[in-house]
Chains A and B, each alone.
Chain A
Amino acid sequence: MTAGPYSAKVMEHFMNPRNVGEIDGADGVGEVGNPACGDMMRLYLRIEEGRVKDAKFRTFGCGAAIASSSMLTEMIKGKTVEEARAVTNLQVAEALDGLPAVKIHCSVMAEQAVKSALDDYAKKHPG
């Protein structure tokens, strides 16, 4: 493949996204973004014993949005809830070998999706 606007890592995740789908009866669901702005991500988490046991996503968006979603699910799987909440957009972008400046907001969307899903989890599992 010829070099496009994205890193090889972004293209690899865009072409073969990990963890696409839903989790029935997910412990936490987060939804961020807005299709009118070009992208939207929904993240489903299965949480067992304080750890992210499974993560699935569905994303409408550009190459960077899909790759960020895919990379994020890989990064948070196995992490404790606290560790997952601490994942930053820059870590996602870095793991993808960088994103164009105009696409940094896609990694921000991924970070916000985890926080949103964990907030949902916290609401459903108080205490």
Chain B
Amino acid sequence: MAKVFFDHISTTPLDSRVFEAMKPYLLEWYGNPSSHIHDQGQAALRAVDKARSEVAALIGAKPGEIVFTSGATESNNLAVLGTAEEAGNGKRHAVVSGIEHFSVMNALIPLRNAGYEVTVLPVDRDGLVDPDAVRSALRGDTALLSVMHANSEIGTIEPVAEIGRIAREAGVPFHVDATASAGHIPLDVREVPADLVTLSSHNFYGPKGTGALFVREGTKVAPRVFGGFQEMGYRAGTENVPGIVAMAAAAAIASKEMGHWADHLGRLGKMLWDGLSGIPLLHFTGHPTKRLPGHVSFWVEHAEGESLLLFLNVKGIMAASGSACSSNLRGQDEEDLVASPVLRAIGVPSDICTGSITFSLGKGNTEEEVRLALDALPRIVERLREMSPTYLDYQKRMSQGG
């Protein structure tokens, strides 16, 4: 059966060129960069240095501004908590958008517990943060502003350059979570005045377990992981050398090829969007044009999200949903099922039956796969609606001219 992976926002497959680049650092060059007097350690140290330059190049940073971490969650935690700690006395206010990832949102919990005030910026129906709202939210005691570059669930790209200029004027450190966007659309820290940028290797065809935080020269961040002197003191622990080498290889490939990928994904995304428009009672989410290439998100009435995903999977099509029912099947009880805060933030009504779907395409997807999805989904929606009491009532209302 066809296996169509349309869930690249959750992770991407490893590029085989990336695997080839990391392989020697798993098998042959296993040295520890901190033990660099001998050849093994030297090889590892040089590899990490080279990797730092390549990852820096992806976003126009200097090599010394890249801190390797275990992934986006750690980078986001470090950005939020590390900046707050360094902000100094009296600065006990943080500003974030309402659609940030859990690793930003939940990093605010210890800050709130410590007495920090948090302003959560609303987004409009398309998921956009209003720069004017940022301007009015920033205060003299604001320690940190965090707004993501692009949202993984609804694909919307935020005006981070404009927001960054506002933060710069106000003298507030600005963190941009670029997990979903880095390697897919350009982000250059020479143009975007961000002080901290989160990068995730496995979101651009690198391996899991490696990420980075860009820390602009002069920005103060207190470490969250304590130990040795690795990563310029920002992050202790022996470097994940094969992961770092691989992330750099993935970054170098993305730097060269992202324009080509974006063209391809833009075409497939349009094809998918146009095809889905024919399904009745389907509503697209996110901004219609300011969005990640190959990212198509929507919700349908009278069909539940998890059921849609299960049927799609049976047809060999793998996608994601923000519906509560599919949120955490390994949880302890139904309290662990939580509908996506992003959908609530953009005003998707929770009082009618909704099934949300995110199709996120990758560079390896084809037109044929898009056709398969377009063939399968309308039938699945129809089948679930025929089973739904709410759809029956809807049809009765319609036939009575309601």
Contacts and interface: CB of A to CB of B under 8 A. Distances in A.
Interface of A: 1, 4-6, 11, 14-15, 17, 20, 22, 31, 35-36, 38-42, 58-63, 65-66, 100-105
B180 to A, nearest CB: 25
Contacts of B304: 38-39, 60-62, 65
Interface string B202-225: 000000000000000000000000
Interface in B328-378: 328-334, 336-337, 339, 350-353
Interface of A (DSSP majority class) = mixed
B353 A104 contact: no
Contacts of A31: 389
Contacts of A102: 328-334, 336-337
Contact of B302 (A11, A60, A63, A66): A60
B332 A101 contact: yes
Nearest to B391: A60
A42 B307 CA distance: 17
Contact of A36 (B307, B351, B389, B392): B351
Interface residues of B, number: 34
A81 B97 CA distance: 55
Q: Which 9 A-B pairs have the closest CB atoms?
A: A35-B353, A62-B325, A62-B306, A42-B389, A58-B389, A60-B388, A5-B329, A102-B331, A38-B325
Contact of A66 (B307, B313, B314): B307
A60 B124 CA distance: 29
Contact of B330 (A14, A39, A100): A100
Nearest to B324: A38
Given A36-B350, A38-B337, A62-B307, A100 B329 contact: yes
Given A5-B329, A62-B305, A101-B333, 10 more contacts: A4-B313, A22-B392, A36-B350, A36-B351, A38-B339, A60-B391, A66-B387, A103-B329, A103-B334, A104-B334
Contacts of A11: 310
B334 A41 contact: no
16 contacts: A6-B310, A36-B352, A38-B324, A59-B387, A60-B302, A61-B307, A62-B305, A62-B310, A63-B307, A66-B387, A100-B331, A101-B331, A102-B333, A103-B334, A104-B333, A104-B334
Contact of B387 (A4, A20, A101, A104): A20
A17 B387 contact: yes
Interface of B: 302-307, 310, 313-314, 323-326, 328-334, 336-337, 339, 350-353, 386-392
Contact of B314 (A15, A36, A41, A65): A15
Nearest to B305: A62
Contact of B353 (A5, A15, A60): A60
Contacts of A103: 329, 334
Contacts of A22: 392
Given A20-B387, A63-B307, A38 B323 contact: yes
Nearest to B349: A36
A6 B303 CA distance: 19
Given A36-B350, A36-B351, A105-B334, A59 B388 contact: yes
